[in-house]
């Protein structure tokens, strides 16, 4: 399977496609960027965010960075033009931003960015969501995640991939006590929990890149934690 993936990478590379990443300053977004650079399947990678990011290393020299005001995204519509593939890892928490701020970031910013990407020519969209996302949920976090999934699907991308990982195993730079406790507990059992409750961000990033190369029959696909873990173990470097 690794050899097949290597062939898919080479074929994809020859198509000379470009992509953008939203949320590259976060742990998963940063890992996704690293994976994309290592596998070198895009001719151009653009980071779209609220601030310029600093990187060390020659592999980052060809990156394009677009700084936008998420409260005025229409003013930055040009940043979303001309990309074949979009990756959205944007998100915050209710604890950090409050309920209203959480909805604004995880729904409004995410949806508006997808709308601008679609208008700008993007045909293939990847959304990092969450295990349990459900627009009918009584829990705000899961409800918002499920609602934005559905709203983006309604935009009609040629291909739309939704990733619903469990607890992300990573030492975050910012403090999220509940997730920290879960990571400490689940991390010790990651070998058995990686397909049900938790998953390393490296595996999520690998899965998102590998899935980009595939051609599923359906326009919209939802990858639950187990599917992500399985796909994230396959690569063709």
Kind and range of the H or E element at 44?
strand 44-49
> Catalytic residue among 87, 145, 160, 163, which?
145
Say if CB 105 and CB 92 are below 8 A apart.
yes
Q: Which residues, other chains included, contact 83 with Cβ-Cβ below 8 Å and sequence gap of 6+?
A: 18, 19, 20, 46, 117, 120, 121, 122
Tell me if residue 145 is catalytic: yes
Three-state secondary structure call for residue 76: helix
> Catalytic residue among 44, 60, 112, 141, which?
141
Tell me if residue 226 is catalytic: no
DSSP structural state of residue 63? -
Please, how many CA atoms are within 13 Å of residue 212, restricted to the half-sphere of its CB? 33
- Token readout for 190 is 């990651």
Three-state secondary structure call for residue 114: helix
Closest to 150 measured CA to CA, from 127, 183, 124: 127
Active site residues: 141, 145
């Amino acid at each position: 399977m690794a050899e097949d993936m290597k062939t898919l990478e080479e074929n994809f590379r020859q198509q000379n496609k470009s992509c953008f990443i939203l949320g590259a300053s976060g742990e998963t977004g940063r890992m996704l960027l690293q994976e994309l650079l290592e596998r070198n399947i895009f001719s151009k990678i653009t980071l779209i965010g609220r601030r310029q990011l600093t990187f060390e290393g020659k592999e980052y020299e060809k990156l394009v960075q677009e700084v936008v005001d998420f409260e005025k995204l229409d003013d930055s519509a040009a940043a979303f033009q001309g990309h074949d593939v979009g990756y959205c890892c944007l998100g915050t928490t209710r604890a950090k931003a409050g309920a209203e701020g959480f909805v604004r970031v995880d729904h409004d910013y995410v949806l508006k960015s997808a709308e601008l990407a679609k208008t700008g020519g993007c045909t293939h969209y990847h959304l990092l969501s969450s295990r349990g996302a459900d627009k009918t949920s009584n829990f705000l976090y899961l409800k918002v995640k499920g609602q934005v999934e559905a709203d983006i699907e309604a935009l009609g991308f040629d291909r739309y991939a939704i990733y619903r990982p469990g607890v992300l195993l990573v030492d975050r730079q910012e403090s999220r006590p509940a997730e920290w406790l879960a990571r400490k507990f689940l991390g010790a059992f990651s070998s058995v929990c990686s397909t049900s409750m938790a998953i390393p961000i490296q595996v999520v990033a690998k899965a998102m890149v590998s899935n980009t190369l595939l051609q599923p029959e359906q326009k919209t696909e939802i990858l639950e934690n187990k599917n992500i873990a399985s796909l994230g173990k396959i690569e063709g470097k």
